[in-house]
Chains A and B, each alone.
Chain A
Amino acid sequence: MSIGSGRRAVIVGVAECDLGVTGLSILELQTQAVTRALADAGLPLRDVDGLACTSVARFSATQLADYLGIQPVWQDSTFAGGSAFEMFVARAAQAIEAGQAETIVISFASNQRSAKSRSMGNIFEAHTPEAQFEGPYGPLYPLSHYAMAAQRYLHESGAARADLAEVAVAAREWALLNPKAFRYEAGPLSIDDVLSSKLISSPVSAADCCLVTDGGGAIVMTTADRAAALPKPPVRVLGYGECTTHTAMATPEDLLATGAEISGARAFAMAGMSPADIDVVQIYDSFTITVLLSLEGLGFCERGAAWQFIKDGAIRPGGSFPLNTSGGGLSYCHPGQFGVLLLVEAVRQLRGECGDRQVDGARTALAHGTGGILSTSATVILGVEA
């Protein structure tokens, strides 16, 4: 087996399934995502020999393979919430480069809004320590953990709730440029709108929280050799890293130190790049605080400084730091595990397909997924030839 540059794994197809309120089943939405991404790649379903997905069923990739009528020789259903898809890109690249698979599809879809399946309470499995030592106190999951991180952040950094709100305001500005965004026609959001929205778990208000929608997406990866004959410019996987830190709310010694510090450092080291080399950034915005902590952990700014870093419109359209250009989980789509859509938007930006929200000349992109309660972090750095 030769592992030359021709086997280097690249991304050749991306797509969303229907978004918003669909009334469709999870498997129909998954099928939309997979078939549309394959069409985007110019590859037939029969060429898919690897499959990675979550949340279809107890045996997720197995279930989806059966539904699609394929028999993959590689699969992954690593369950790491919204960071799983950045992990899948890493594992898929490794599998392709090791010759274990030729063409891998990574997908996710959920109908959580249509099915009203989202619940924030009593979600702890009875055999876990959290059921004994955390559930009895009534934390909202995952919200109350992020709320405690936000409270600590305000305490340590000197930021105010309005500084968190800027993340939601900027996301809305981007969503107004994205016809597929759930809030595309909702009009702008002001800082005061966020501050006056209903407090759910202080200091987090409803407008600090991501949407609850149906939706999903898929990514097709194959070898650089194969990609040469395909219609879309291949997107290279330049670096990746991940870190799993905790699952109980009481475990982190420091609420403000996230796994992004390690996942980001590993991704940048592998790519031979630094934060200054990235043209467009997609960070999982489950809550406004998640973005601030991730920006700091990834090294785009110092600890405690992200609220100043994003001031003055830096992350709004036209600003100096293009972030979450789809409108993010806050204003575009949040089907429960947003990590796959971070990658879809990053690829589209690198291909120059983003219309009114296109970042001119984007050649490098970073996608950073977070799962659970800041439990898992995974970073992917992508690039296209200049």
Chain B
Amino acid sequence: MSSSSETGAELPPVDAVTQPWWDATRDHRLLLQTCASCGAVQHYPRALCIACGGTDLGWTDSLGAAVVDSFTVVHRELPGFDAPYVVARVRLAEGPILLTNLVDADVESWACDVAVSVRWRDLDDGRALPVFAPAGISTSGGAI
């Protein structure tokens, strides 16, 4: 699970609303959709702000700092994934929750509420997936 080309997972689809978010991943930037009316930040990107219903939406950069809300070690082999791997919900410092993978640590070492920071898993088409590793550990794959 260290790179998409190894996993063979299908490339995620894109649509007009999410195109800027995916484009930013090419530069290893994690965007959060931000409402011009009320300032709320949200993830995943939508055609409206779920806080106020506004449709004037922009983007801000996330710092990429988060805590693990919860996680699960997947032992079942899915096509394109090498078990065991860790699926998690992480809560960004800015508020939104992302589904992601936890990487760069023993799969049995994780716990709820630990601090993590973003890393990037490059996809075959130049985009990248934000994944998370223990905070404060620098790795060669890191973009921070």
Q: Which residues of A pack against B, CB within 8 Å?
A: 120-122, 126-127, 129, 131-140, 144, 147-149, 151-152, 155, 198-204, 248-251, 253, 255
Provide 7 A-B residue pairs closer than 8 Å at the C-beta atoms, listed in order of the A residue: A120-B78, A121-B76, A138-B101, A152-B69, A152-B70, A203-B72, A255-B89
Q: Are B72 and A201 in contact (CB under 8 A)?
A: yes
Is the CB–CB distance between A138 and B87 below 8 Å?
A: yes
* In the complex, residue of chain B having the shortest beta-carbon distance to the beta carbon of A205: B75
Interface centre among B69, B80, B98, B129, by most A CB within 10 Å?
A: B69
Interface centre among B14, B71, B80, B89 (most CB of A within 10 A): B89
Q: Are the C-beta atoms of B76 and A120 separated by less than 8 Å?
A: yes
Give the contacting residue for A137; candidates B18, B97, B129; CB below 8 A: B129
A residues less than 8 Å from B45 (CB atoms) = 129
Inter-chain contact A132/B72, CB cutoff 8 Å: no
- By size class, the interface of chain B is 35 or more
Knowing A122-B79, A132-B13, A249-B89, the reply to whether A148 touches B72 (Cβ < 8 A) is yes
Complex contacts, B74 vs chain A, CB 8 Å: 138-140, 144, 200-201
- Which residues of B come within 8 Å of A, CB atoms? 1, 7, 9-10, 12-15, 18, 22, 43-46, 69-76, 78-81, 85, 87-89, 96-101, 111-113, 129, 131
Determine if A250 and B75 form an interchain contact, defined as CB atoms under 8 angstroms apart. Answer: no
The reply to whether B71 and A151 form a contact with Cβ atoms under 8 Å apart is yes
Minimal beta-carbon separation of B21 from chain A (angstroms)? 9
In the assembled complex, the CB of A195 is this many whole angstroms from the nearest CB of chain B, namely 15
Q: How far is the CB of B99 from chain A (nearest CB, A)?
A: 5
Q: Is the CB of A151 within 8 A of B99?
A: no
Q: Is the CB of B99 within 8 A of A155?
A: no
Q: Provide the bound-state CA to CA distance between A204 and B76, in Å.
A: 12
| Contacts A120-B76, A127-B13, A144-B72 supplied; 17 other A-B pairs, CB < 8 Å | A131-B13, A133-B12, A138-B1, A138-B9, A139-B72, A144-B74, A148-B70, A148-B88, A149-B70, A151-B72, A201-B75, A201-B87, A202-B73, A249-B89, A249-B99, A251-B97, A255-B89
Residues of chain A within 8 A of B89, CB atoms compared = 148, 249-250, 255
Are B80 and A126 within 8 A (Cβ)? no
When chains A and B are docked, how far (Å) is the Cα of A249 from the Cα of B69? 12
| Closest chain B CB from A196 CB (angstroms) | 14
Asked, given contacts A132-B14, A138-B74, A255-B89, whether A155 binds B112 with beta carbons under 8 Å apart, the answer is yes
